[in-house]
Amino acid sequence: MTDKGVFLVTGGSRGIGEAIARSAAAEGYFVLLTYVGQADRARGVVEAIQAAGGRAAAVQADTGVPADVARMFEAADQHGRLSALVYNGGITGGVGLLADQTDDTLAQVIAVNLTGALISCREAVKRMSTRLGGQGGSIVLLSSRAATLGSPNQHLWYAASKGGVDSLNLGLAREVAGEGIRVNCVSPGPIATEIHAPGRLEAIRDSLPMKREGTPEEVAAAVMFLVSDAASYVAAANIEVAGAR
C-alpha cells in the first residue's frame, strides 16, 4: 500500500472527530488523533481502527495550550510525514448572553477555537510547505454555521471564534497555495454530537429545513473529499454541511 502519510485530527475521540479519524484510516492514512481528557474513548477509537485493519494512535493534547500543540506535532513527526491536518477540536463555553460571561470563558473559547487553530496551522505549514522542504499537504478547518448566523442569545463568542476560523481559511489558503498546501473549511450546522446542550436538537428539529440534524459521518465525508485528489483544485472553499440551514 502506498504510504499516504500521517493524518492528524484534533478532537478525534468522539463525534465528528471520531468519524473523520475512522474515515481517514479506511483511506489508508496513519491516523493520529488527539483528546483532552477522555483517554478511554480515544483508546477505543484507536482499537476500533486497528481491528478494522487500519493504523492509528492517540495523543493527549489541549489545543488551547501551546505546549500541548507542540507535543502533538512532535508525536506526529514520530509516525512519519504529515500529509493532512484537520483542526476539529472546539468548545462553545456554554449557552447564555454575552453580558453574563466571564473573562475566563471568553479567553478559553478563543484559545481553543482560534488561537489553537492558528498555531496548529503554523506548525503544519512548516512541515508541509514545498518552499520549506516539505512535500505539500492538506489542511481542513472545522468552522460552523454559527459564524455567519451569529448565535445571539446562545453563544455568540463561539460564533465569533468560528468567524475567525473562516478568515484564517481564506487568508492561509491564498498564502500557501503556491507551496503545495490546500487549505479549506467545513461548516457544519446542527449535528448529532455531544457539543449541544441536552434537548437543544429536539427543540429545533422541526424548524430545520430538512427536519433533521446531520450526522458526524456526513461531515466526515465532506472533509475527506477536501483532502482527496478529487479536490486537487479546491482551496479556500467553505463547504456548509447544514441541510440548507
- Quote the distance between the C-alpha of residue 39 and its chain's center: 19
Count of structural domains, the chain: 1
Residues 208, 196: Cα–Cα separation, whole Å: 15
Give yes or no for a contact between 172 and 121, defined as CB atoms under 8 angstroms apart.
yes
Residue 178 predicted with pLDDT over 70: yes
What pLDDT is attached to residue 3?
A: 85
Q: Is residue 1 part of a domain?
A: no
Which sequence positions are flagged as catalytic? 158
What was the pLDDT predicted at 198? 80
Q: Is 102 exposed, middle or buried, given 0-12, 13-18 or 19+ CB atoms closer than 10 A?
A: exposed
Average per-residue pLDDT for the chain: 96
Q: Indicate whether 48 belongs to any domain.
A: yes
Residue 195 pLDDT class (50, 70, 90 cuts)? confident
Q: pLDDT tens digits, residue range 53-110?
A: 999 999 999 999 999 999 999 999 999 999 999 999 799 999 999 999 999 999 999 9
pLDDT at position 196 is 67
- Quick check: is 171 in a domain? yes
Residue 55 β-bridge partners? 30
On whether residue 78 sits in a domain, the answer given is yes
CB atoms within 10 A of CB 226: 23
CATH of the domain at 124: 3.40.50.720
The domain of 132 spans 6-241
Predicted pLDDT at 1: 47
Flag whether 170 is in a domain. yes
Residue 130 confidence class, pLDDT cut points 50, 70, 90 = very high
- Asked whether residue 159 carries a pLDDT value surpassing 90, the answer given is yes
- Give the Å distances, CA to CA, from 161 to 90, 91, 117, 150, 153: 10, 10, 10, 10, 16
